[in-house]
Chain A
Amino acid sequence: MVHLITGGSGSGKSAYAEEEIVRCRKHILEDSGIFSPFLYVATMIPRGREAEKKIRRHREQRMDEGFLTLEKYTQLSGLEIPSNAGILLECVSNLAANEFYERNRDFEGAFEAVVSGIQSISGKTEHLVIVTNEVFSDINGYSQETQEYRRLLGKINCALARMADKVTEVVYGIPVVYKDERKDGGTFME
């Protein structure tokens, strides 16, 4: 199952995503008794003090929860995935920026790399939780380069939502479910 989780900055989406993964281990343990680690795929390049601080906060959040952290900033399709109880990928907004700038702002190349990379990971786990970001409801007064990046992330989010079995936006810690194909087979559309 693939679960896409989105939300604004500081919305509590990371903490919610970790809860979702940890909950899935409880199910696995109850069903089979087999213990495997969770994988945390970190995509943020640790550049500067702000990034280091953020990474430290996220690492502390995951302590004692049995996560194995893999750092991969681009080309997720080349990542070796060990046997696992679930994968948490965070965050698509970093991954998209890394692919976009690594490829000299090649929009289509970055789009393909992100989506096919995530697709390849989803084939190597029973439970993939993907964290992305809402940056689309501001006034459209950004530089052309930033607009291209926002368009890229928007297109990626739509593609991931189609791929996902479940899509949730976290609003200040409150999960709002937009799609859950495990439950009712559809969206809120009529």
Chain B
Amino acid sequence: MILVVGGAYQGKLVFAKELCPKTEWIDGRECKEEEILSCGGIHHFHAYVERQLKAGQPVKQLAGNIADENPEIVIVSDEIGYGIIPVDAFDREYRETAGRLCTELAVYADKVYRVVCGIGVLLKG
């Protein structure tokens, strides 16, 4: 598993595509969970988490399921936890849950990169 994180608009997907040119990608803004468990790579992972929470679907097992069923996956996610704690309760839950999931995924990942200004920095692996 490879995890690529970073702020919004940092060129994370471009970086991940250079790193893994053969990977086929699905988009977290529109994919289903079974696709995540069989795809090559997912980008906008945080958006998948947001959609699931909005629909009242559980995501607690998600990181473990991915590690079990799709251990070679490449995951690209925004880091969204660096601002002021949101006033809105849903935003707080989303922000916290996305953070916890990525933390768990980082444990499973062989490599973790963070992209800043289009430059990938290897944090783990």
Contact = CB atoms under 8 A, between A and B. Distances in A.
B82 A179 contact: no
At the interface, is chain A mostly helix, strand, loop or mixed?
mixed
Contact of B118 (A134, A162, A188): A162
Interface string B101-124: 000000000000000111111100
Interface stretch (A75-83, A118-126, A153-161): A153-161
A158 B119 CA distance: 8
B21 interface: no
A171 B116 CA distance: 13
A6 B9 CA distance: 15
B121 to A, nearest CB: 5
Contacts of A141: 86, 88, 91
Interface range on chain A: under 10, 10 to 19, 20 to 34, or 35 or more?
20 to 34
B40 interface: no
B78 to A, nearest CB: 7
Contacts of B119: 161, 167, 178-179, 187-189
A41 to B, nearest CB: 20
Contacts of A8: 82
B10 interface: yes
Contacts of B48: none
Given A138-B82, A141-B86, A188-B122, A154 B91 contact: no
Contacts of B56: none
Contacts of A151: 8-9
A139 B120 contact: no
B80 interface: yes
A136 interface: yes
B79 interface: yes
Interface string B32-47: 0000000000000000
Interface string A159-177: 0111000010100000000
A155 B117 contact: no
B11 A140 contact: no
A120 B19 CA distance: 32
Nearest to A162: B118
Contacts of B79: 137
Given A6-B116, A178-B121, A134 B7 contact: yes
Minimum-distance CB pairs A-B, first 7: A154-B9, A136-B7, A138-B83, A161-B117, A137-B82, A158-B118, A137-B7
13 contacts: A134-B7, A137-B7, A138-B82, A138-B84, A139-B83, A139-B95, A150-B9, A151-B8, A151-B9, A157-B117, A178-B116, A179-B119, A189-B122
